[in-house]
Amino acid sequence: MAERIPVAIVNVTSYTGCELARLILQHPGFQLCEVTARSTQGQLLSDVFPHLPTGNLTITEQVKEAQLVFVALPHGAAAEAIPGLLAEGRRVVDLSADFRLRDPQTYARWYKHTHPCPELLEEAVYGLCELHRDELREARLVGNPGCYPTATILALAPVLARGIIKPDIIVDAKSGVSGAGRSLSLTTHFSEADENLAAYGLDGHRHAPEMEQELTQVAKDGAALRFTFIPHLAPMTRGILATCYANLAEPLDTEAVRALYEDFYAGAPFVRLTPRPPETKWTAGSNSCLLYPTVEQRTQRLIVISCIDNLIKGASGQAVQCANILCGLPEETGLTAFGLFP
């Protein structure tokens, strides 16, 4: 690669921020020229995150030079910051929820405040590369998908697109604790999360409308879904496993369903069918999404297991994948690390 593209990370001290740093620092096409954060300005990145021995890369207040900016701010704050970045002629991959939903009403209902810049929602591309690769090439603003939506949409898109399931779907998802970010809470306090498993969001999780939006859009007939999504917190740092349940619209066996998935994801370098049910640990540290679709013959129920590393394919790796496409680089660039096992 001739010259590396200068990129920045806004709010590098979040988990998605430091994971972006790790990936970009090892990326042959990008040059990490700026990292910003609020409370740690002036500190060396390597002092805040000793696993990143980055010499004298210092945390600053503002993006100045980067052509491409990864925004790892919380929702709300992201939408405040992004219009300025775009106005300065930069392209933006936003890891918050601010540019995922097309409908500002839906956004306002779930995020409890009016969207600060609804005029950008139409332009923003939903950054699930496997479904929106072509739109991403010219995008100026990417709404990088949430971790649950990534695992779920990749699990269900093929069968919805081909119309082989009834639109009555249950997704029972389990996530590692890093999905809750780096902000402190009793829920993520070690002694409470350790050796513990719990469902949450039973009265509605913010990722649900995002999944419904994308799954409805990909569905063959665009039929409204009857969609239940229940997330659970599992006592591990990384990993999402989504177990998806739907009834087949017509009899099919596992082999036929697997063939359909292989076909649907033929050109997707990071989606892979596994010969046996996948385990989250197989994805730790990699940008893979592992899928295992199977038909329960007795009930004619389709069950799809989907595994990702929530911080990589579910966040920062996916953002880099989007950025590769934006910049005309091969989609896999900088993302070929295998999982770290055990």
- Report, as residue numbers or ranges, the catalytic residues: 147
User: Binding to its own copies by residue 255, rule CB under 8 A?
Assistant: no
User: Binding to its own copies by residue 273, rule CB under 8 A?
Assistant: no
User: Binding to its own copies by residue 115, rule CB under 8 A?
Assistant: no
Minimal distance, residue 135 CB to its own copies, in Å: 28
Count residues binding its own copies (CB under 8 A): 79
**What track of x and - describes contact with its own copies for positions 173 through 212 (by CB under 8 A)?**
-x-xxx---x-xxx-xxxxxxxxxxxxx-x----------
**Which of these segments, 28-36, 60-68, 126-134, 167-175, binds its own copies (CB under 8 A)?**
167-175
Q: What are phi and psi of 249, to 5 degrees?
A: -80, -25
Sign for the CA dihedral angle at 52, 175, 257, 210 comes to negative
Minimal distance, residue 332 CB to its own copies, in Å: 12
Question: How far, in Å, CA of 125 to CA of 20, rounded?
Answer: 20
Among residues 66, 54, 53, 14, which one has the least CA distance to residue 37? 14
Minimal distance, residue 87 CB to its own copies, in Å: 34
Residues between 3 and 22 that touch its own copies (CB under 8 A): 15, 18, 22
Q: Which of 62, 105, 114, 299 binds its own copies (CB under 8 A)?
A: 299
Residue given tokens 């017509």 in the structure block: 250
Do 297 and 253 touch, CB atoms closer than 8 A?
yes
Q: N- to C-terminal Cα distance for the chain? A: 33
**Which of these segments, 80-88, 98-106, 284-292, 326-334, binds its own copies (CB under 8 A)?**
284-292
Q: Which of 3, 87, 122, 338 binds its own copies (CB under 8 A)?
A: 338
DSSP 114: -
**Bridge-based pairing state of the strands 240-248 and 165-175:** antiparallel
Question: How far, in Å, CA of 254 to CA of 296, rounded?
Answer: 8
Residues between 26 and 45 that touch its own copies (CB under 8 A): 26
Minimal distance, residue 11 CB to its own copies, in Å: 16
Question: How far, in Å, CA of 337 to CA of 309, rounded?
Answer: 12
Q: Which of 127, 278, 317, 334 binds its own copies (CB under 8 A)?
A: 278
Do 289 and 154 touch, CB atoms closer than 8 A?
yes
